[in-house]
Structure 1
Amino acid sequence: MMAVVAVGVFIAAYVLIATERVPKTVVALTGAAMVVAFGVLSSEDVFYSHETGIDWDVIFLLLGMMIIVGVLRRTGVFEYVAIWAAKRAKGSPLKVMVLLVLITALASAFLDNVTTVLLIAPVTLLVCERLDVSPVPFLIAEVFASNIGGAATLIGDPPNIIIASRSGLSFNDFLIHMTPIAGLGIIVLVAMLPLLFRGSFTVDPARTAEVMALDEREAIKDRRLLIICGIVLALVFAGFIGHAVLHVEPSVVALIGAGLLVLLSRSRPAEFMPSVEWETLLFFAGLFIMVGALVQTGVIGRLADAAARATGGDPLTATMLILFVSALLSGIVDNIPYTAAMSPIVAQLSHGIEDPSQANALWWALAIGADFGGNLTAIGASANVVVIGIAARSATPISFWEFTRKGAVVTAVTVLLAAPYLWLRYFVLGH
C-alpha cells in the first residue's frame, strides 16, 4: 500500500512539473508533505536518514557556493570573463557557445558540476546580454557539458563519489577509464551544437562591433575583493579535490569557504543573500523526500533488482542492461538516489564475475549511465535544476520540455556512443 502511495505521489508530481501548470517548488513540497502525511516516511527518515532523507550535503554545498558566487559577483569578474570570451570568439554566438561548453566541461572534471554551473551561468547571462541573444540555448548546452565532463573524474559528478565508495575504485581508476568516454562525449556534443540549437546564433553586427571595442579590464570593480575571492576559491577548490584525503565533505568545504569569504570581505547579508536560490534549495528538499519514499518502500530497489536478474549471469548483457537502464531511470528519478539504490546490486553482480576487467565494466556502465542519463530530463541531475532556477530568476525561463527534448537527443547519442566503448574496451581488448 505504501509503495502505491509513493509511486502515485511521485508520478503525479512529475506530471505537474512536466506540464508546468504549478510552480515546481510548490509541487515538490506538496508531494513531500503527502508522503509524510500518509506515513510512508517519518520525520527521522526525512531529516536524518542517509538513504531516504534530504541529502543535506547537496543542499549545503549549493548554499555555500551560492553565497561565494554572490560575493564574487561584486568584483566584476563575471563581466570580465564574459567580455573576454566574446572577444576571443570574435562576437560569434556559436563560437561563444563552443568556448563556454569547453570551459564548463573542463571545470566540471575538477569541481562538482553544480559548482561549475553556478560559476559559469552568470558569465553566460552577461555575454548573451552583451550580444543581445537569448541565453537559454547557452545555459542548456552548458548543463549538458557539465554532466558529461563531470563523468571524467571521481569528484566531477555525485554518482561517481557514491560508486567509488561502494566499489573501491580510485581517483586514478576514474581518470583512466572514464576520461576517454567523457572526452568523446564532449567532442560529439560540440559537433551537435549547430543542429541542436539551430536558429539561435543570429547576432546584430553592431552589437558585435560594440563588444569587440570593450576593454575587459575596465569591468573589474574591486581588485582587493577579487584577490580575496581568488585566494578563498583556490582553498575551496583544493578542498574539493582533496576531500577524500582530508575526510571533509565538499558541503563542509563550501560552507567554510563561504563563511571565510563573508568574514574577510566584510560583506553584509543584503549584498550576497539575493544570490541564494531559495526556491531551488526547497525544490531539491522536496524531490529528495519523494524519491526517498520510493527507496523506503523498495520501489527503486525492486526495479534495479529486476534489471539485474534479467541479465542471466552474462557479463556483457549485464553491462549493457545496466548502462541503458541507468541512463533511463537516472533521467527520471535523479541520478544521485538512483546510484545509491543500484550500487549494492552492481556489487553483488560484479562479485560473481571472474574477469576483473569485466567485473569493473559493470561499475563503469553504472557511472556512464547515471552521469550521461542526467541530461535526459530537466530534473535528471542537480546541475539541471540549478541552471533552470537561475534562468527563471533572470527572466529567461527554460521550460521542462524545451530542456528535455534536446536532453533526450544528447543522452541517446552519448549513451549509444558509450555502448561500443564498453564492449570494445572490456570484452574485446580486455582492459
Structure 2
Amino acid sequence: MGRHRPAGQPAAADKLEEVNAHDAAADGSYEVIPVIDLMGGLVVHARFGDRAHYRPIRSRLCDSARIEDVVPALLGLFAFRRLYVADLDALQGRPWQLSTIDALRRVAPKLPLWIDAGIRDGQDLSPVAERGTPVLASETLTAAAAERLLAACPTAVLSVDYRGERLLGEPRLLERPQHWPANVIAMNLARVGSGLGPLQLDRTGIALLGAIALVGIGALTPEQAALSVHLPTLLLLFSFMVIAAQMRLGGFYDWVTLRLAALPLRPPALLAAVIGAVALLSAVFSNDVVCLAVAPALADACARRRLDPTPFLLALACSANVGSAATLIGNPQNMLIGQVLNLSFSSYLLEASVPVLGGLVAIWALIASQARGRWRAESEPSRGPAAAGAALDRWQTAKGLTVAGALVAVFLFTSWPREVAALIGAGLLLMSRKLHSREMLGQVDWELLILFIGLFVVNRAFADTGLTRQAVQWLAGAGVPLGAPAPLFGVTFVLSNIVSNVPAVMLLLPMTKSAVDGPLLALASTLSGNLLIVGSIANIIVVAAARRQGIQIDWRRHARVGVPVTLVTLAITAAWLAVRG
C-alpha cells in the first residue's frame, strides 16, 4: 500500500494520510508531503481544525507568513517532492487565492502541487488544474459532482473529509469506491493542529517535557531543578536578545544590508566586504538575526549586478558562524561557557582572535578560488522591485549601538558581572517613548531560553546518574582522556554535529580542567557549525533565503565550502591553542 504522510508546517501535520487505491507499493514506504493552509493570502497555523482561530504562522526560518517565504524555508530543511496547498478561503465559499498560489509558482516553478480549493463544478476545475493537481474535497461536493469531476480529470486527488467521526459529505461517496481515483486522502479536521497522533515536538518541547518528567517522577525535586538552571547565562542571553530587538526595530540591520549590497566593488572585494561586515556584526549581535537581515538584500543585489549569488550567500553563512566565535557574547554556547567558567572577556577575545581572523581569510580564499572565472550569473536575472527594507530610525539605532558599545567596554575593562551590566542595558532600552515594550519583548527568542532551562535540568539529572563519570572513565581507558585538550577538541566536534552545539557544550563543560579548555570548547563547538547545513540555524536561514530568490543551495553545494572551511578553521584553532597552551 502506498502511503503518504505530511510534515513541515506544524499546523497540518496530522492532516493527510494518502492511500493509493490501485497501485499498492510493495515496500509500504512513506512519502513526506508538507501541507500549507492559506487564509487571507497568508500561511496560517491551524488550531484543532477551528478555522476561525487560525492565525498567520510565525517562524524564525522565514521573514513572513507569505507563501513565497514559507515554502522556500521548508525546502531549505528537506527537498520534498510535492506540496499540498489548502485554500481555506475557497473552501469556506470566499474568493479564491489563486494569485497567492501564482506567487508560489514563481519561486518554486518545478514543485508539483496538490491544490484543495473548494472545487464544486467543472468551471472551478480548470484554473486549479492549470496550476497543479486538483484535490476534490467531499466537504464541498456532492457524490454525483465528485464522480463527474473525476471522470473529467482522472488525475485529481479525492479527499474524504471527516470532523471526528462525522463524514463531511454524502455517505454515497463511500459506497462507490470503483469511481475513486488512484490517490485518495482520508482527512480528519478535528485532528488538524491538535498535536494528536505523532507528537508535534521540536527540540525545545522535548527538553522542556524531559525536565517536567524528571521532576514528576522524583528524579529531581523542584528546588534541585531550579538550582540546576544557571541564571547568569539566561540573564545575559535575554539581555542581548533585547538589544538585538532594539537594533532590528530601529532599522539598523536593514540599513547595513542595503549599504553593503550597494557597494561598488569588484566581486572578490565585495566578497571580502561581506565576510568582514557580517563577522563584525555577528561578534556582538545574533548571527541568526544578521543572516536573516542580510541574505535577501544580498541575493537581490547580486542578481541585479548579474553576479552568481551562491558564493556570497555561502560566505554570509560561514562568516556569521566564524565571527560569532570571536567573543563570549557572539552566540548562546559561548555565553554559557563564559558565564559558567567565568572566563575573562578580554582574554578570550585574544585567544579567539587568531582562529577567527584566520578562519575569515580561509573563507575568502576558498570561496574566491572556487568562484574564479565564474562570478557572473549564467542566466539573466529576474528584476523585481529592489528590496526596500525598514527606514532607519537614527535615534533608536544610536541608543542600541551606545548600549552595545558600552557593554563591550564594561566587559573588556571592568570586573562587573556581565549579566548584571547587560540586564541594566536591556532595561534602559525597554524604557522607550516610541518602541513599546510588548513589541521589544515580542522579538525575544523565548523558545531558546526555555530550551536552555530544559537542558540545564536534564543535564543535572543525567550527571546525577553517574553515567557521565562512567563514560569519561571508559573513554580514558580506551585512550581518549577528555581531561586532555586534544580528545576534548575531537569529542566537541563530533558531539556538536550529532546533538548540536548547546547540548554538546552542556555535556562537556564538567570535563574542562585547564585554562585552555574554555576557549577550546567555545571555538570548536561554534566552528563545527559550518560543516553541514543543519549545523547551525544561520546556515538554514541563508539557504531558505536563497530558495526564495530561486537559488538552489543543496547539501552538496554547501559541503564544497562548509567541509573545507570547517576543517581549515578547526586546524588553525588547534594549532593556535597548542602554541598558546
TM bracket, shorter-chain basis: 0.5 to 0.7
Contact 2:262–2:301 (8 Å) recurs in 1: no
Corresponding position of 2:107: none
Q: Which of 237, 256, 260 is 1:85 aligned to?
A: 260
Q: Which of 64, 68, 71 is 2:246 aligned to?
A: 68
Corresponding position of 2:407: 239
**Change in CA separation of 1:63 and 1:417 when aligned onto 2, cut-off 3 Å:** closer
Corresponding position of 2:350: 176
**Change in CA separation of 1:329 and 1:284 when aligned onto 2, cut-off 3 Å:** farther
Q: Structure 2 CA distance, aligned partners of 1:166 and 1:369?
A: 17
Corresponding position of 2:362: 188
**Change in CA separation of 1:196 and 1:210 when aligned onto 2, cut-off 3 Å:** same
In the alignment, structure 1 residue 285 sits paired with structure 2 residue 450:
yes
Q: Which of 487, 491, 494 is 1:325 aligned to?
A: 491
Q: Deviations over 1:219-266 (max 9, x none)?
A: 8946xx313421332123322442563324276256325413xx14x1
Number of corresponding residues: 376
Matches within 5 A, 1:104-183: 104-109=278-283, 111=284, 114=286, 116-119=287-290, 121-132=292-303, 138=312, 140-164=314-338, 169-183=343-357
In the alignment, structure 1 residue 410 sits paired with structure 2 residue 558:
no
**Change in CA separation of 1:71 and 1:106 when aligned onto 2, cut-off 3 Å:** closer
Contact 1:121–1:387 (8 Å) recurs in 2: no
Corresponding position of 1:296: 461
- Which ranges of structure 2 fall in alignment gaps of 5 or more residues? 1-31, 33-73, 81-194
Contact 2:315–2:364 (8 Å) recurs in 1: no
**Change in CA separation of 1:81 and 1:108 when aligned onto 2, cut-off 3 Å:** closer
In the alignment, structure 1 residue 373 sits paired with structure 2 residue 528:
yes
Q: Structure 2 CA distance, aligned partners of 1:392 and 1:295?
A: 36
Q: Deviations over 1:104-139 (max 9, x none)?
A: 223344x25x2x542463133223223337977655
Q: Structure 1 CA distance, aligned partners of 2:270 and 2:532?
A: 25
SS in 2 for 1:374: helix
Q: Structure 2 CA distance, aligned partners of 1:277 and 1:136?
A: 30
SS in 1 for 2:202: helix
Q: Deviations over 1:354-412 (max 9, x none)?
A: xxxxxx444443333223223344565xxx32664587589749999579745444322
Q: Deviations over 1:166-203 (max 9, x none)?
A: 65653343243331122112111211224678999544
| More strand, by proportion | 2
Corresponding position of 2:10: none
TM-score computed with the length of structure 2 as normaliser? 0.51
Moved more, 142-151 or 385-394: 385-394
**Change in CA separation of 1:374 and 1:69 when aligned onto 2, cut-off 3 Å:** same
Paired letter, 2:265:
K
Contact 2:236–2:423 (8 Å) recurs in 1: no
Q: Structure 1 CA distance, aligned partners of 2:331 and 2:244?
A: 18
Q: Structure 1 CA distance, aligned partners of 2:230 and 2:339?
A: 18
- Which ranges of structure 1 fall in alignment gaps of 5 or more residues? 1-15, 351-359
Q: Structure 2 CA distance, aligned partners of 1:257 and 1:386?
A: 29
Q: Structure 2 CA distance, aligned partners of 1:400 and 1:70?
A: 29
Matches within 5 A, 1:419-430: 419-423=574-578, 425-426=579-580
Which structure has more relative contact order (CA 8 Å, sep 6+)? It is 1
Deviation at 1:319, TM superposition (A): 2.0
TM-score computed with the length of structure 1 as normaliser? 0.65
Contact 1:377–1:407 (8 Å) recurs in 2: yes
SS in 2 for 1:242: helix
SS in 2 for 1:297: helix
Paired letter, 2:202:
V
Corresponding position of 2:141: none
Paired letter, 1:67:
A
**Change in CA separation of 1:53 and 1:305 when aligned onto 2, cut-off 3 Å:** farther
RMSD across aligned positions (CA): 5.1
Q: Structure 1 CA distance, aligned partners of 2:450 and 2:409?
A: 26
Corresponding position of 2:277: 103
Corresponding position of 1:385: 537
Corresponding position of 2:394: 226
Contact 1:150–1:156 (8 Å) recurs in 2: yes
Contact 2:228–2:457 (8 Å) recurs in 1: no
Q: Structure 1 CA distance, aligned partners of 2:347 and 2:440?
A: 39
Contact 2:238–2:449 (8 Å) recurs in 1: no
Contact 1:130–1:207 (8 Å) recurs in 2: no
- Of structures 1 and 2, the larger Rg is shown by 2
SS in 1 for 2:530: coil
Q: Structure 2 CA distance, aligned partners of 1:258 and 1:394?
A: 33
**Change in CA separation of 1:239 and 1:185 when aligned onto 2, cut-off 3 Å:** same
SS in 1 for 2:493: helix
Contact 1:47–1:54 (8 Å) recurs in 2: no
Paired letter, 1:289:
G
Q: Structure 2 CA distance, aligned partners of 1:165 and 1:287?
A: 13
Deviation at 1:68, TM superposition (A): 1.3
SS in 1 for 2:265: coil
Deviation at 1:284, TM superposition (A): 6.3
Paired letter, 1:343:
L
Contact 2:532–2:558 (8 Å) recurs in 1: yes
Q: Percent of aligned pairs with the same residue?
A: 18
Q: Deviations over 1:286-337 (max 9, x none)?
A: 476367535522366655565456557798xx22111111122123333344
Q: Structure 2 CA distance, aligned partners of 1:378 and 1:291?
A: 26
Q: Structure 1 CA distance, aligned partners of 2:238 and 2:531?
A: 25
Q: Structure 2 CA distance, aligned partners of 1:255 and 1:25?
A: 33
